[in-house]
Amino acid sequence: MIDAKKTIIQKFNTELGSDLKGLNKIYEFHQSLNEQKSKIEESLSMASTEAPSKVKAVIESVEQISIEFQQLEKSSSEFRSDIQETMQENDKSLQEMQKIIDVISYLDKSLSYLNFIKYVEDISDEIQVSLTNGNDESTISLYVDLTNISCQLRPSTCHYLQNYVKETLHFWHNLIKDKLSKEYNDILKTLKWPFCGSNTNTLHTPMPETLTKFKILTEYLLHLQLPEESAKCVVTSVLLTDFTPVSLPISLLIRPLRQRFIYHFTGSKLTNRQDKPEWFFTQILTWIKDHVQWVQKNVQPAANSIGFDHVDMKVEFMRALIQLAVEKLHSELSIVQYDDALFAHLVDEALGFERELRETLFYPSTQPATVFVLTQAHIFVKWINMEKKCKLTKYF
């Protein structure tokens, strides 16, 4: 109340001022206040009559909105139900479609499988034609294709297909090998191979076309190698598992020498004497010396020309001959181990053979030879006991 009074006094002072002459403005000020009063009363009168109608309008608007919301909620629920039904129907459709896709995928794989088999059969037919026509180059080229297919199938889970290709590969390998081996042996006879016996002193310079044919056949035989997974090393004892199988050309070069070795150093032959192990050791060394340079000169270049430069043909040739000596040494040790004199002599000759190989012929230390035969447990114990016995005998 006091604040209102101060406000009124302040307004009077503002309107009338401090000049007494300004008091005549009081009538104008009074009239102005009356006008303001009338406007306020009129405004209050309008508010009292319009408020109920505005509130009613708001309530009606809210009720309408509520009705519309309920309708929208119902529509939303119906729409959601429709969506769920549609999704269920789509799921069924998708499942049916997935079944169709699976069938198509299965048929596609089956078709690819059959096409692959037909491709292999087509290669087989072409190999047959090439063999019949005597076209060795085409035969080997097709065989290499078949070999590559077999290698590509290694990680596959199609085991029946793997076996089919592998069996097909082995079938053609054996047929082609027989044919080329015969041709190779004929060429070797022309070349007077091996250089021993009556051929040792024969002055024979082969015709250039003969050497060319020899090198071509060597290349073919190298291509004829089976994949590593199929190559099986056939051994006569556990010891020989250290001897990696040699390539086909070397195997054919060794064959006549193996036949001679078996002829002279098995059975009741006069050259097969237990007290003369140096005979078979010397024979192996002689064959190595007589042939190894020729192998290096004529076989290695053929291997290098087709990407087989990682294969040392000279070492393979030596290893194949040394394997003959190891087989013979192994069989002899089982007999002479009960005779101290024969056992000691055989061990000495085996050590001398090993030394000659390593120091004179430069046979790699990574390759197997005769010493590892002597280091078998039962043989090594016998050897050590013999050394002790000899030492004690000499001492006393």
> Is residue 226 assigned to a domain?
no
Give the chain's residues under pLDDT 50: 203, 229-231, 233-236, 395-396
Same domain, 249 and 390: yes
Question: What's the CA angle centered on 186, arms 182 and 187, to 5 degrees?
Answer: 120
Based on the domain organization, do 157 and 247 belong to the same domain? no
Q: Are residues 149 and 288 in the same domain?
A: no
Query: Is the distance from CB of 111 to CB of 85 less than 8 angstroms?
Result: no
pLDDT score, position 94: 80
Domain finish residue from 192, 225, 252: 192
The answer to whether position 40 is within a domain reads no
Do 186 and 239 fall within a single domain? Answer: no
Six-digit token pair at 260? Answer: 């001679």
Please tell me the predicted confidence (pLDDT) of residue 190: 94
Residue 246: φ, ψ to 5°: -85, 165
Within this chain, do residues 243 and 126 fall inside the same structural domain, yes or no? no
For residues 336 and 344, give the distance between their C-alpha atoms in angstroms, rounded to a whole number. 9
Query: Does residue 9 fall inside a structural domain?
Result: no
The residue out of 137, 157, 192 marking a domain boundary is: 192
**How much is the pLDDT for 229?**
44
Distance between CA atoms of residues 187 and 140, nearest Å: 19
**Domain-located, residue 224:** no
**pLDDT tens per residue across span 343-361:** 999 999 999 999 999 999 9
Residues 179 and 289 occupy one common structural domain: no
Q: What is the Cα gyration radius of the chain?
A: 54
**Strands, E, within 224-328: which ranges?**
none
Number of structural domains the chain divides into: 2
Distance CA 359, CA 351 (A): 12
Global pTM reads 0.71
Q: CA torsion sign, 128 to 129 to 132 to 137?
A: negative
Let me know if residue 31 belongs to a domain: no
Q: Confirm if 288 and 361 have CB atoms less than 8 A apart.
A: yes
Residue 264 · residue 272 · CB < 8 Å: yes
Which structural domain, as residue segments, surrounds residue 264? 235-395
Among residues 192, 225, 245, the one where a domain terminates is 192
Residue keyed to tokens 């012929």: 361
Name the 3-class secondary structure at 283.
Answer: helix
In a domain, 76, yes or no: yes
DSSP conformation class of 361: S
What gap in Å lies between CA 239 and CA 225, rounded to an integer? 24
Residues 268 and 381 in one domain: yes
pLDDT of residue 372: 87
Note whether 266 and 126 are same-domain residues: no
d(CA 193, CA 257): 10
Specify whether 186 is located in the same domain as 271.
no
State how far Cα 20 lies from the chain centre.
Answer: 118
For residue 13, being part of any structural domain is answered with no
Q: How many whole angstroms from its chain centre is CA 141? A: 24
One domain, residues 175 and 268: no
Predicted confidence at residue 380, as pLDDT, reads: 85
Candidates 385, 393, 388; CA nearest to 337 is: 385
Burial 87-114 (b: 16+ CB within 10 A, else e): eeeeeeeeeeeeeeeeeeeeeeeeeeee
pLDDT for 20 equals 54
Regarding whether 383 and 261 lie in a shared domain, the answer is: yes
Contact in structure between 303 and 222 (CB atoms under 8 Å): yes
Q: Are residues 244 and 337 in the same domain?
A: yes
Residue 21 inside a domain? The answer is no
